[in-house]
Amino acid sequence: MKIISPEEIEKLELLEDVLHADLPIQDEYILTQEQRAELDRREARHLSSKSKSHSWAEIKQRLILNHGLQTGN
């Protein structure tokens, strides 16, 4: 069993305080009508299968081929 240091306990308590805080974030992130319409348009396009999804492997390969980018993975 690992012993938790006082510093780690303090970090966990701070994290718990943040997670349980009642923050009024809803009021801070209100979308305009234009932004909502754009999101609705994008969602409808995605759901209609008119837009193609790409896997991370496909995107990574294209970046390597087109831009010579190398990744750590």
Check residue 60 and give its pLDDT.
85
pTM of the entire predicted model: 0.36
16 pLDDT above the threshold of 80: yes
Half-sphere exposure of 24 (CA within 13 A, CB side): 2
DSSP strands (E only) in 1-73: none
Which is nearest to 53 in space by CA: 42, 69, 65? Answer: 42
Confidence of residue 15 (pLDDT cuts 50, 70, 90): confident
pLDDT in tens, 49-58: 766 777 888 8
pLDDT in tens, 19-59: 877 766 565 567 889 999 999 998 888 788 766 777 888 88
